[in-house]
C-alpha cells in the first residue's frame, strides 16, 4: 500500500520557509500564501496512435494572478524580507517577459511596494495591461535597446542609482528554485501518490528554469531514478546551443540566454517542441476539454507526451500548465495555425480529464512557516 501523505516528513536538506520579523508583513505574506500554490492536478486522458494514454499536469492558472510565477514572486519576497534585503516601502524592479512581472506587480503592491517592470516590447498587450492594472509601471524595451538582455541591464541600472530598489533577479536567484523545491515538486509527488501512482518523469519549459530545477530536485530526492527534462522551442534551441538562436512564439520560454540557475548537468535530455505544434495543442485543450491554457502549456503537454513515448505508454509523466489563455488573446493562439509535417498534436485525440484533489492542510508540503 502506498503511504499516506500525512505520514510524510520533510527530507533533510530542505530549507524551511523563513519567518519575517515584522508582524504586519508576516501576516500579509501568510494571507498571500493561502492564494498561491497547492493547485489541482489534472490527469489528461487521450488517445495517441491508437492507444489510451494519460499525462498529468498541475493547473497553475488557479494561482492568485493565474500563473505559476506567483510561487516564485511570493517566495523571493519572503526570503528577501527575512534576510533584510528589502524593507517596507522599497521599490521593486525586474526584467521579465510577462508572467513574472504580473506576479511581482500583484504581490509587490499587496505588500505596499512600488513596482517597475522592464519588458521586451513584443510581448502580448494583455500582459502589459495586466501589469498596469496592478498599479505597476511598465518600461517597454525594443530589440534595438537590447530586448531581454537590455531589460535586465536597465533594471540593474535603476538599482545602482537608488539603494531603496530591490531586484528579485529571477534568472539568478536561488529562491526561485527553492520556491518549487518546497512546493511544486512535493505537491506533484503526493497528489500522484494519493491516487496510487508513482512518478516516472517530470518535464517543464525553461524560462528562468526555476520550475524544472526546483521541482526536479524535490522529485529526485523522493525518487532518484525519476527523469527530469527541460523543454525548449524547436525554433529557438537556446539550451541546446548555449546561446540565443532563432525566434519563437512560446512566450515565457527561452528568453535569449541560459539562466544561471539552470544546471543542465542535473537534468535529462532537452526536449524540443515546435511553437506551431504547441499552439495547436493549446487550442485543442481549450476547444475539446474546456481547459483554457497558454501556449507554453500546449508545449509542455507535447513534451510530456514525447517523454512518455520513450518510457512506454503507461509511464507516469507530469508537467505544468503554467497559465491560462487570457494573456494571449491578441496572439497567434487565437488565430488559425497550419499543421506541418512532424507535428504530434494532429495525432492526439483528447477524451477527458480527471481532477485530483488539492493536498490537505495536514500534508507536509511546506507552504507556510512552521
Give the active site residues: 69, 296
Q: Which three cell numbers stand for residue 202?
A: 517530470
The Cα–Cα gap between 324 and 248 comes to 19
Q: For 280-288, which contacts have Cβ atoms below 8 Å and span 24 or more sequence positions? A: 280/337, 280/339, 280/343, 280/345, 280/346, 281/344, 281/345, 281/348, 282/325, 282/333, 283/333, 283/337, 284/345, 284/348, 284/350, 285/44, 285/350, 286/325, 288/350
What are the CA-CA distances from residue 135 to residues 116, 139, 151 (Å)? 9, 13, 19
For 140, the 3-state DSSP assignment is: strand
In the structure grid, which three cell numbers stand for residue 219, read together?
A: 522529485
Cβ neighbours of residue 363 closer than 8 Å, sequence gap 6 or more: 5, 6, 8, 190
Give yes or no for a contact between 231 and 252, defined as CB atoms under 8 angstroms apart: no
Residue 141's contacts (CB-CB under 8 Å, 6 or more residues apart) are 118, 119, 120, 121, 147, 148, 150, 151, 154
Find residue 203's DSSP bridge partners.
Answer: 229
CB under 8 Å to 280, separation ≥6 — which residues? 298, 337, 339, 343, 345, 346
Eight-class DSSP state of 63? S
Amino acid at each position: 500500500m502506498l503511504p499516506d501523505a500525512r505520514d510524510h516528513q520533510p527530507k533533510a536538506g530542505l530549507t524551511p520557509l523563513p519567518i519575517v520579523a515584522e508582524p504586519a508583513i508576516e501576516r500579509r505574506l501568510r494571507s498571500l500564501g493561502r492564494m498561491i500554490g497547492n493547485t489541482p492536478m489534472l490527469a489528461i486522458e487521450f488517445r495517441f496512435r491508437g492507444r489510451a494514454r494519460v499525462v498529468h499536469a498541475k493547473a497553475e492558472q488557479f494561482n492568485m494572478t493565474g500563473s505559476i510565477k506567483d510561487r516564485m514572486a511570493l517566495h523571493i519576497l519572503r526570503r528577501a524580507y527575512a534576510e533584510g534585503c528589502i524593507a517596507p516601502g522599497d521599490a521593486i524592479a525586474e526584467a521579465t517577459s510577462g508572467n513574472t512581472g504580473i506576479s511581482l506587480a500583484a504581490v509587490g503592491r499587496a505588500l505596499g511596494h512600488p513596482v517597475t517592470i522592464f519588458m521586451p516590447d513584443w510581448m502580448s498587450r494583455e500582459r502589459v495591461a495586466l501589469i498596469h492594472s496592478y498599479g505597476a509601471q511598465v518600461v517597454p524595451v525594443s530589440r534595438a535597446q537590447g530586448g531581454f538582455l537590455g531589460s535586465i541591464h536597465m533594471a540593474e541600472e535603476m538599482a545602482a542609482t537608488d539603494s531603496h530598489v530591490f531586484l528579485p533577479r529571477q534568472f539568478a536567484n536561488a529562491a526561485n528554485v527553492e520556491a518549487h523545491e518546497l512546493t511544486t515538486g512535493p505537491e506533484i509527488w503526493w497528489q500522484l501518490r494519493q491516487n496510487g501512482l508513482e512518478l516516472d518523469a517530470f518535464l517543464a519549459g525553461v524560462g528562468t528554469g526555476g520550475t524544472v530545477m526546483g521541482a526536479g530536485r524535490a522529485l529526485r530526492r523522493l525518487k532518484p531514478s525519476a527523469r527530469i527534462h527541460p523543454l525548449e522551442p524547436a525554433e529557438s534551441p537556446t539550451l541546446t546551443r548555449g546561446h540565443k538562436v532563432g525566434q519563437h512564439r512560446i512566450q515565457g520560454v527561452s528568453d535569449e540566454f541560459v539562466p544561471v540557475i539552470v544546471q543542465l548537468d542535473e537534468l535529462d535530455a532537452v526536449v524540443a517542441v515546435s511553437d506551431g505544434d504547441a499552439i495547436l495543442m493549446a487550442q485543442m485543450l481549450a476547444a475539446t476539454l474546456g481547459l483554457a491554457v497558454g501556449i507554453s502549456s500546449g508545449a509542455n503537454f507535447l513534451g510530456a507526451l514525447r517523454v512518455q513515448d520513450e518510457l512506454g505508454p503507461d509511464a507516469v509523466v507530469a508537467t505544468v500548465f503554467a497559465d491560462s489563455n487570457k494573456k494571449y488573446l491578441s496572439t497567434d493562439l487565437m488565430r488559425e495555425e497550419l499543421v506541418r509535417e512532424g507535428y504530434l498534436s494532429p495525432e492526439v485525440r483528447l477524451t477527458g480529464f480527471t481532477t485530483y484533489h488539492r493536498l490537505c492542510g495536514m500534508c507536509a508540503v511546506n507552504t507556510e512557516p512552521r
